[in-house]
Structure 1
Amino acid sequence: MAAALSLGLSLSAVPASAAPATPSSVAAAGELVLPAAPRAVPRATQILNAGASGFLWAQEGDDRLLWTSYATGATTALEQRLPAPVEYDIDSGYFHEAASFHPGWYGDGSDTVALYSQEDSQVTLLKGDGTSGGAVVVPVPEGHTYQGTFGAASSPTGPTSAGTTPGRAPAGPWTASAAPSPTPTTSSASTSCRPASPPPR
């Protein structure tokens, strides 16, 4: 019974030193300000690409692109970062700042990670975290917009799969298969671009 009575004390009976006086917790006389509780919801995470050996992701409060290996569980930050940290509103359930939700923007369905640079008008293709093997740069032709990078396939170096040479595009949609050297490659990705506006009729 004594324990129940001690819990029934009013908040005004709690000494003023119960809460530290910081600029954000200064309260009117007779009030007790309690610090905010830890967040009970995990940080929001975006899975950007999942391949055979790992996946690319970004997390709330961070602007890094992260690659995690399935085999080891090791996570490596890529050199390229997002323009701003990922921001997620737990009350509304929406992202305020986020990596692109466009399918294939960072690659899709393989260990090929695509990093598009609008300033340079090119897409850099990496294998996973980029530490094993070199990068391949695919230019986006003038007047076209980057649409995504999809899958992985075996293809020799040479003309793109649309039958054009790199840097030149047909009038309609095209796909470029990139390879790092003039020798056949065992893993290349298809990077898709389309004209920025429809051609006049």
Structure 2
Amino acid sequence: MVKPVAEKLISRDQSDFIAFARSNRLLFGDATKGLPLRASSCGVVYASHVLEHLDAHGVRLFLAEVLRIFSPGGTLRLVVPDLQILVDLYNADGDGNGFVSRLNVVPSRSQVDWSSLLNALTGHRTLHQWIYNEASLSTTLLEAGFEQPTKLLPGQTTIPYCEELNLWERAWESLYMEARKPLSLKEHGSSSHG
């Protein structure tokens, strides 16, 4: 009886990801509050459509926590809505209402009710705190202490052994970027992260 209800609350993509996470011992947590991982213990963090939901302070906390848990050379893969794609869509169709809706930064009346709670519980979209383009995301990563932020095409990655992951998620609206933790503090200069 629970299963049919769960199937209506969880999308097929979410269900596939849950199965992948269970079979690959993935950990979940709030990186803005610290993760239960030792310093320098991880090599990869993949955050898809997460960063845009954090305010500026939350982004700084998240990136600092990733640097803390990363071993030198660790790779951070981020997928976020691409402001440039959204602007290009607006320029193509001139639909201001559609543009604002795609930004997902202003709650509509229908979002300020029980549906917002249901969406939060089921992993559906919540409001964006920020929208990045290639330049702003690259700058954010460099300022946090990462190096070599690189924009990638949908499906591309420098991370080995991730064939089972959907690297094309929401390609029509997404910016894909990877950056790495410096091999040493000297590589980054004056960074206090480590």
TMscore range, shorter length: under 0.3
Greater RCO, 1 or 2 (C-alpha within 8 Å, sep 6+):
2
In terms of fraction of residues, the more helix-rich structure is 2
When normalised by structure 2's length, the TM-score is 0.23
Which structure features the higher share of strand residues?
1
Which is greater in Rg?
1
